[in-house]
Amino acid sequence: MLHARHEHSPSAAYGRPVHMWTYGHAGRPVLAFPTAGGYAHEWEHHGVVKTLADWIEAGRIRLYCPETNAAAVWIHPGTDLADRMARHQAYEQFISQELVPRIWAESGRRDIAVIGASVGAMYAVNAGLKHPELFSHAIGLSGRYRANYFTGGSRDEGVYFSDPSAYVWNLGGDHLARVRHHAKITLVCGQGAHEGTCLAETRHLASGLSSAGVPTWLDLWGQDVSHDWKWWRRQIRYHIGMLL
């Protein structure tokens, strides 16, 4: 029987409890970010939990699905840019400073894989590049990686450091050395309907990562592969399976 739990996870960093679903009792920890709506129940609603149920029930993976602030910060902003970026940084602190230590304690493992589709891919890849010691793999599916697209072209420091397609070209020094040593980035995208922008951004980011010497796998699927959950379920199953 699938072990599933919904909770409001307390967060001092974020300033309010965070909705989260967890699935499983043991195994490789997988942290999954939702798409633009930011809903914690998204992976269950779209059948991904069912797709992974055999691995979850067998104790091969333990799935963590927190909500994100994507809708409020990136998709439907109602406040000024500085406030939005401050709230986004608070969310990132929740992930890195509060949720990750909890996952370590619950799972007894430190090989957390982080994954997301569309806007969730931006969250996942940012996590892997900003905190390479915390996440052993980052997997982005059909990613929207240009953060300033969601700000009407406006960019401050917060937007820049949320935009992997921008900052990856300027990585250097100790941080780049840490990324090269620890990070493993997988960028997946179809080449079919509604993937045009995501495909271009995926290729651009892969080029930047390759130029920086970051271990990267660019996995492009066929021209029949569209920007939807039908394909993301298959890609998630395939790429999580590669980690087991």
CATH code of the domain in which 136 resides: 3.40.50.1820
> Number of folded domains in the chain?
1
Q: At what angle do helices 81-93 and 119-130 cross, to 10 degrees?
A: 60
Domain that residue 22 falls in:
4-243
Check residue 205 and give its pLDDT: 98
Inter-residue contact 214 to 195 (CB < 8 Å): no
Check residue 64 and give its pLDDT: 98
Check residue 1 and give its pLDDT: 67
- Whether pTM exceeds 0.95: yes
Check residue 154 and give its pLDDT: 84
Inter-residue contact 192 to 146 (CB < 8 Å): no
Per-residue pLDDT 10s for the chain (244 aa) are 688 999 998 899 999 999 999 999 999 999 999 999 999 999 999 999 999 999 999 999 999 999 999 998 998 877 789 999 999 999 999 999 999 999 999 999 999 999 999 999 999 999 999 999 999 999 999 999 999 898 888 889 999 999 999 999 999 999 999 999 999 999 999 999 999 999 999 999 999 999 999 999 999 999 999 999 999 999 999 999 999 9
Inter-residue contact 11 to 18 (CB < 8 Å): yes
Residue 179 to residues 83, 137, 223, Cα–Cα distance (Å): 29, 11, 32
Check residue 105 and give its pLDDT: 97
Tokens for 244?
């087991």
Check residue 196 and give its pLDDT: 96
